[in-house]
């Protein structure tokens, strides 16, 4: 078997052209083949200007197969090219390790087979979120969950910290097949959130800009309005704290009482 092949999965960042690191740009330009999974066709067209052999991974998505199966197919096609001795690059929206199973599976398999393989990080939606909303996760602490996972499992919520729910636009997608959510599923999410927060608590629906001409979405609504909100696949839900942090000294004093 030819071990001259290699695999590098890079992050394209969130905003077209603005977030690509010099390291990722170098890898894309010097690859034998680039497989791209971007958030829009415009982004894919832009990647095509960087390398003459770019192939889209988007056709693997369909409404029949689960996304887990789709990601497996994406991984396999990159691995197959690598085994032929090619320098393969997978270019993924945002950060290749954040809500992107295919690059992690592919790189892990390549390393297992003895090939040179690694992930080159990119700017993620999380990094954009903190900048666009002027939030510091270190101020109160931060809890983050994938929305459907949060709905499905029993999780502890610290309401004195920031809560971020990713992929809220796919809330309740237990089979990993949907490309949107429904008011009923959002109502189920709301029902769980009001256990911890009052219905009038202010929340934020966030969407980073993909194209330089886009506007950042940072819509503030009451928690009770969640089931009526218009969401997309890139929507993120931010729930600010509704309790203050209690100093352990204060807590000790309270226990003394």
Q: What is the pLDDT of residues 5-60, one digit of tens each?
A: 999 999 999 999 899 999 999 999 999 999 999 878 899 999 999 999 999 998 88
Considering the chain, what percentage of its residues have pLDDT values greater than 70? 95
The pLDDT value recorded for residue 169 is: 95
Burial class for 11, CB neighbours closer than 10 Å (0-12, 13-18, 19+): buried
Cα gap 99→169, rounded to integer Å: 14
Question: Kindly report the CA angle at 122 between 69 and 10, in degrees rounded to 5?
Answer: 55
Cα gap 194→222, rounded to integer Å: 11
Tell me the pLDDT band of 108, cut-offs 50, 70 and 90. Answer: very high
The pLDDT value recorded for residue 243 is: 85
Q: Catalytic amino acids?
A: 67, 71, 93
């Amino acid at each position: 078997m030819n071990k001259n092949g290699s695999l590098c999965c890079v992050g394209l960042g969130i905003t077209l052209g603005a977030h690509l690191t010099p390291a990722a740009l170098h890898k894309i330009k010097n690859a034998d083949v680039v497989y791209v999974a971007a958030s829009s066709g415009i982004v894919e067209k832009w990647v095509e200007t960087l390398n003459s052999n770019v192939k889209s991974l988007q056709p693997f998505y369909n409404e029949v197969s689960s996304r887990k199966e789709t990601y497996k197919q994406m991984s396999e096609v990159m691995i197959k090219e690598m085994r032929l001795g090619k320098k393969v690059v997978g270019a993924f929206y945002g950060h290749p390790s954040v809500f992107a199973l295919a690059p992690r599976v592919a790189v892990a398999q390549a390393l297992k087979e003895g090939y040179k393989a690694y992930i080159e990080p990119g700017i993620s939606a999380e990094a954009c979120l903190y900048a666009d909303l002027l939030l510091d996760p270190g101020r109160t602490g931060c809890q983050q969950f994938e929305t459907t996972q949060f709905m499905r499992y029993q999780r502890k919520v610290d309401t004195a910290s920031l809560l971020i729910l990713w992929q809220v636009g796919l809330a309740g997608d237990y089979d990993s097949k949907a490309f949107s959510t429904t008011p009923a599923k959002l109502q189920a999410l709301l029902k769980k959130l009001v256990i911890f927060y009052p219905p009038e608590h202010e929340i934020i629906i966030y969407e980073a800009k993909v194209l330089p001409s886009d506007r950042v979405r940072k819509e503030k609504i009451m928690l009770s309005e969640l089931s009526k909100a218009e969401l997309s696949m890139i929507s993120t839900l931010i729930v600010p704290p509704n309790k203050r942090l209690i100093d352990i000294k204060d807590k000790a004093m309270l226990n003394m009482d």
